[in-house]
Amino acid sequence: MELNQLQQLVVIADETALFRAAQKLHISQSALTRSIQRLEEELGMQLFDRTHNSMKLNEAGKIAVRHARLVLNEAEALVMGLEAFKWHIQALHIVTCTPAPLWKLTAELSKRYPDIHITSGMPEESEIESQLLIEKASIAITRHDIHTDEIDSMPFMDEHLLIRIPVSDPLSHKSAVHFADLEGREISEYIHTGFWRRLYRKCIKNAHYIEYDDIMVYLNIVASQNLLTFTSDAHDLQLEMKNYHLVPIADKEATAHCYIAWLKKNNSMLSDILKWITEIFIN
């Protein structure tokens, strides 16, 4: 049997007259009759009580119509599910609470899935869970291990805050520094660093901060001048700057445990990507 035969059966039941069903289906009445007869032959049972001038669903026909509706609904759900899958696979929006792990993830994703259109955003950390729930984001990078009825998560990577110190600065020879060691210092900062900016400003209240909004301007300034700047071990931008020492910050707040979070209902659509993330970043 074919889906269009089941659709024809349902339309006949809804219209209660063969000629009206044929009109709605845009086929001739004789073609509709032959199609239903083939369906009855395949099922091995008459679905209509026929007279010279009419045909009426019998009890077997009513059962067939009821199940035909279920099959057609499932077929529609199949199409919609695949469309949703196609959208998620071809367009992946990632939100994050910190940029460097996002840069690392998207760089690897682009190589592994070149056909995926990846977009990203860095909303307020408090908004990340809601962006997943309203499906503005496919995947989130968060500091919270979320397990609710709707959201699941898994460990992703740890990010450690470092201070990039010019070699001429006495602090550059230390194996580690504390936030307290940076009080009163002048620190140049790229302002789009998510929660990190709020954290180190909270921990170093008396520093003088020079703000940069453009990442390229910021990197050029840092490369050409002897400035204190923050970075992390989650990206490799520091490799281009040989006149600096990278010194870890020893305070426990300077380590962020990052997680990947997603909607549970998207498990099947994201399963390949999540498995790949586990293999590349976690194992």
The tens digit of pLDDT for each residue in 7-26 reads 999 999 999 888 898 899 99
Tokens 């994703």 found at:
109
What the block records as the tokens of 10 is 């349902």
**Which stretches within the chain are classed as H helix?**
3-15, 18-25, 29-43, 59-90, 99-112, 128-133, 195-203, 215-224, 267-277
Spatial separation of the C-alpha atoms in residues 173 and 17, rounded to whole Å:
91
Structure tokens at 128: 């990340």
Bridge partner list, 117: 91
Distance CA 15, CA 10 (A): 9
For the chain, which domains are there? 3-81 (1.10.10.10), 88-157+257-282 (3.40.190.10), 159-255 (3.40.190.10)
Name which of 261, 267, 273, 276 is nearest 84 in CA terms. 267
Q: Residues 196-241: pLDDT tens digits? A: 999 999 999 999 999 999 988 988 888 888 899 999 988 655 445 6
What's the pLDDT score for residue 185? 96
125-167 pLDDT tens trace: 999 999 999 989 999 999 999 999 999 999 999 999 999 999 9
H or E segment and range at residue 94: strand 91-96
- pLDDT score, position 82: 73
Phi, psi (deg, nearest 5) at residue 182: -100, 0
Task: Report the distance separating Cα 36 and Cα 42, nearest Å.
Answer: 10
